[in-house]
């Protein structure tokens, strides 16, 4: 029944693709082309959950390896936890909701969803597809709206057995302190970095880095923020990424060829301007963007950034990427790891040994070879180390998070 439920929602969502895309553009100013992609990803996330539900099972435990267990049968099974509270952010207000509620409902739980205040209608439209389905489990999904006080009430309540949150580190810390004895899954901030080796295809790397830094206005936990470039190719790469950045169309989210729209609110815009001004005062150079255009902050490339500057130390969550020249891989990986965040890193290189070292050395939840750290497939485990969070998302891992193991012994 639950599989039929999810399949029905995926089908209806596909049919209403354009309506959902327009709502995304209205609520969070996501360019319409990327809004459509988010709807498609949401459909895929639900379908992937259906596939993983078929594999959600326990296994037999070989008690006969112990003398005392010769005449027993033991196994374990997975059961729903009960109630799951899901708190979701503004940057992917459709797909990140699906990443939580589809596995939670699919596993047989009841869900309380608190979506971001910036995109209430997007969440409502998706929830309505679930609730109105002919295969829906009655009263299994509730949506509550409100500010931090509502979220805090949910977190403190003894009723939810799992809190699944995507958002900022400060709020994640508060949730951990308030949750009490229950499962807590946190997908928090990042400070994604890449290294451009001198053996890399610089033109390809520059094009991909521009995409990874400025996609969704840089408002992604794995937006490329730090680019460490081998000093032998630093100037050439800087020119290439500036050229690629200047090609990106900034403007109305309703135009099909717009790459980047405005930031989520004025507070984000003012913070971005302040951080860039601070970096310039400390010696960094703006080589692309930097000046607001009709209320929209453009994609901005900063060169000659140093380790102490705020735009490289903290998560910017804005369309800013920083370039740093380094003598080689060893310095680059040291600087990458010298961060309180550990979500995703990447490397561009044709050196196999360097690739192997990078996979071992990178202190983060995911690495990407010869592409941007912004790359994420919804089927994979997703999450980080350090301040980047606790637990993993992705349908398979979310299903495990939203279930409990029950051990059975038959004598």
Listed residue (150, 154, 51, 160) closest to 110, CA to CA: 160
Q: What is the number of other CB atoms lying within 10 angstroms of the CB of residue 207? A: 18
Q: What is the pLDDT of residue 67?
A: 87
221 noted as active-site residue: yes
- Mode of pairing for the β-strands spanning 389-390 and 59-61: unpaired
Tens digit of pLDDT for each residue in 337-357? Answer: 999 999 999 999 999 999 999
In angstroms, rounded to a whole number, what is the distance separating the alpha carbons of residues 342 and 190? Answer: 6
Q: Which of the four pLDDT bands, split at 50, 70 and 90, describes residue 229?
A: very high
For position 57, what pLDDT does the model report? 87
Average pLDDT over residues 30-56: 97
- pLDDT band at 411, cuts 50/70/90? very high
Residue 71 reports pLDDT greater than 90: no
The yes-or-no answer on residue 42 being catalytic is: no
Q: Which domains does the chain have, with CATH numbers?
A: 2-188+388-410 (3.40.605.10), 192-369 (3.40.309.10)
Compute the residue count for the chain. Answer: 411
For residue 80, pLDDT over 90 is answered with: yes
State the burial class of residue 94 (Cβ atoms within 10 Å of its Cβ: 0-12, 13-18, 19+). Answer: buried
d(CA 303, CA 202): 16
- Binned at pLDDT 50, 70 and 90, residue 248 comes out as very high
Q: How confident is the model at residue 295 (pLDDT cuts 50, 70, 90)?
A: confident
**Torsion angle in degrees (nearest 10) through CA of 231, 233, 238, 243:** 180
Model pLDDT for residues 358-382, shown as the tens digit of each residue: 999 999 999 999 999 999 999 999 9
Distance CA 321, CA 300 (A): 6
Q: Given this model, what pLDDT does residue 343 score?
A: 98
For the chain, what is the mean pLDDT? 97
Please tell me which residue in 52, 221, 244, 315 is annotated as part of the active site.
221
Phi–psi pair at 302, nearest 5 degrees: -110, 130
Q: What is the largest CA-CA distance in the chain?
A: 77
**What distance in Å separates the CA atoms of residue 103 and residue 97, rounded to the nearest whole number?**
10
Predicted confidence (pLDDT) at residue 70 exceeds the cutoff of 90: no
Rg over CA atoms, the chain: 23
Stated pTM of the model: 0.95
Cβ–Cβ under 8 Å, residues 212 and 223: yes
Q: Select which of 187, 244, 315, 393 is catalytic.
A: 187
CB neighbours (10 Å) of residue 302? 25
């Amino acid at each position: 029944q639950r599989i039929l439920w999810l399949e029905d929602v995926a089908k209806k969502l596909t049919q209403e693709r354009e309506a959902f895309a327009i709502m995304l553009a209205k609520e969070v100013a996501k360019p319409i082309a990327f809004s459509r992609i988010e709807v498609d990803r949401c459909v895929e996330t639900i379908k992937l959950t259906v596939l993983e539900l078929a594999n959600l099972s326990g296994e037999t435990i070989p008690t006969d390896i112990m003398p005392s267990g010769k005449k027993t049968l033991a196994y374990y099974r997975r059961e729903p936890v009960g109630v799951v509270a899901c708190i979701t952010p503004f940057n992917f207000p459709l797909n990140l909701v699906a990443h939580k509620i589809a596995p939670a409902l699919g596993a047989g739980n009841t869900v309380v969803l608190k979506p971001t205040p910036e995109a209430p209608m997007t969440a409502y439209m998706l929830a309505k597809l679930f609730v109105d389905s002919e295969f829906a489990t009655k009263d299994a999904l509730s949506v509550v709206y409100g500010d931090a006080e509502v979220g805090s009430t949910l977190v403190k309540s003894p009723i939810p057995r799992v809190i699944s949150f995507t958002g900022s580190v400060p709020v994640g810390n508060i949730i951990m302190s308030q949750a009490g004895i229950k499962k807590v899954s946190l997908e928090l901030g990042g400070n994604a970095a890449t290294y451009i080796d001198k053996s890399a295809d610089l033109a390809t790397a520059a094009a991909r880095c521009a995409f990874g830094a400025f996609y969704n206005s840089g408002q992604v936990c794995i937006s490329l923020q730090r680019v460490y470039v081998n000093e032998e190719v630093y100037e050439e790469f800087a020119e290439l990424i500036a050229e690629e950045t200047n090609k990106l169309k900034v403007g109305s989210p309703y135009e099909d060829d717009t790459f980047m729209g405005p930031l989520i609110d004025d507070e984000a815009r003012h913070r971005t301007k302040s951080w860039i001004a601070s970096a310039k005062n400390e010696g960094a150079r703006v080589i692309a963007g930097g000046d607001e255009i009709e209320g929209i902050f453009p994609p901005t490339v900063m060169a000659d950034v140093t380790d102490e500057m705020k735009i490289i130390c903290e998560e910017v969550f804005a369309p800013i990427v920083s370039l740093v020249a380094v003598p080689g891989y060893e310095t680059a990986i040291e600087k990458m790891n010298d961060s309180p965040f550990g979500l995703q890193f990447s490397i561009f290189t044709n050196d196999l040994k360097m690739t192997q070292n990078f996979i071992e050395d990178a202190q983060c939840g995911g690495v990407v070879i010869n592409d941007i750290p912004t790359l994420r497939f919804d089927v994979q485990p997703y999450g980080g180390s350090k301040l980047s969070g606790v637990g993993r998302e992705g349908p398979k891992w979310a299903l495990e998070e939203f279930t409990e193991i029950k051990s059975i012994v038959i004598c």
